[in-house]
Structure 1
Amino acid sequence: MPADELPETFHVTTDEQLRAVSNLTRHRIMAVLRFEPTTITQVAERMGLSKGSSSYHMRLLERAGLVKVVRTRKVRGVIERYYAMAARSIELPDPGEGGPDVLMRHAVADLEAAPLDGERHVRMAHLRLTDEQFAELGARLQALADEYRELSDPALPDASLVFALFHPAWREQADGSAE
């Protein structure tokens, strides 16, 4: 299935789906599947996994509905399955108070695993914004990410963009509205 035929967003709603995306290996498998259908063998080779491990993780992702078989072909009497993401993006539920955000944990793990000699742009900024400015910045960041996702070419090297715009917990305490 071509990427332009995929649904825009897959909403993670069940515990099974959340467990599937919470695993770093499965997160990285989904990154491999992001741009083109791939076999279990190809995933294993790209990630340095055994075929058995690759197959196990792919089955869990498929059972959770996050990936699906989009093509098969017969190779030396064996059916080879090509897997792809079930949607262009995945939306995780709000982790709730005190709950770690799976996406951010995976982003930090990916950043830590990235080659040290590679180009990186990592920034953290503390801003003081009105509610309107906050909403506008969130919309602009999302639009920028969407714009560059449309420009993505599977033939080019992979790059990851992660952003989080939020009000820290201490904001409520400083305002005196929570204790």
Structure 2
Amino acid sequence: MTDDDIPETFHVSTDEQLRAVSNLTRHRIMAVLRFEPATITQIAERVGLAKGSSSYHVRLLERAGLVKVVRTRKVRGVTERYYAMAARAIVLPDPGEGGPDVLMRHAIADLEAAPADGERHVRMAHLRLTGEQFAELGARLRALADEYLELSDPSLPDASLAFALFHPGPSTQAGEGGK
């Protein structure tokens, strides 16, 4: 299987798939497989899991259709399987139940796992916007992310971008002292 054979996107559409991507350990496994195929042993080493745990999580991802075996080879009489992502990008339901929660938990887990001495740009801002400004900002953020996605070069170091523009619930706004 070549990189050209890998579909561009995989749309998460079933409860089984959503449960599979919701788990942070499985998210870390998918991150390992993002750029190159790996065996259960290699995945276990890179994620810091026991081989049995790694195998269990990979089987769940495979059953959900998110990863697949891309090649096998015989090593001392045992068939070694190399797993890879089923697509270049995993698309969560929008706004499917649990979708934004899963996305933000994964973004936070990735940020926490990033080297502490690495360059980061992290900011949270509480804004007061009209409905029109809110829609415009959302569109601009999506367009900017899409623009840089088009510029993305697989030979360059990986960078992650996550953003969330939302209206907080009433309890969050009340906690600000009504300001």
Instruction: Measure the CA separation in 2 of the matches of 1:150 and 1:9.
Output: 14
Change (3 A) 1:81 1:154: farther
TM-score w.r.t. length of structure 1? 0.77
The answer to whether the 8 Å contact 1:95/1:101 transfers is no
1:26 equivalenced with 2:21 (yes/no): no
Q: Secondary structure of the equivalent of 2:115?
A: coil
Change (3 A) 1:154 1:52: farther
Give the counterpart letter for 1:75 in structure 2. V
Give the counterpart letter for 2:106 in structure 1. H
* Residue correspondences, number: 171
TM-score w.r.t. length of structure 2? 0.77
Instruction: Measure the CA separation in 1 of the matches of 2:8 and 2:161.
Output: 18
Deviation for aligned residue 1:130: 6.0
Deviation for aligned residue 1:121: 1.0
Deviation for aligned residue 1:32: 0.7
Instruction: Measure the CA separation in 1 of the matches of 2:2 and 2:146.
Output: 18
RMSD value, Cα: 2.9
Unpaired runs of at least 5, structure 1 = 174-179
- Write out aligned runs for 1:95-134 (5 A): 95-96=96-97, 101-127=101-127, 134=134
Q: Please say which of residues 135-144 and 54-63 is displaced more in the overlay.
A: 135-144
Change (3 A) 1:154 1:38: farther
In the alignment, what sits opposite 1:58?
A: 58
- CA deviation string 1:39-66 (max 9, x = no partner): 1111111111111111110000000111
Change (3 A) 1:61 1:96: closer
Identical aligned residues as a percent = 85
Instruction: Measure the CA separation in 2 of the matches of 1:106 and 1:90.
Output: 12
Deviation for aligned residue 1:159: 3.0
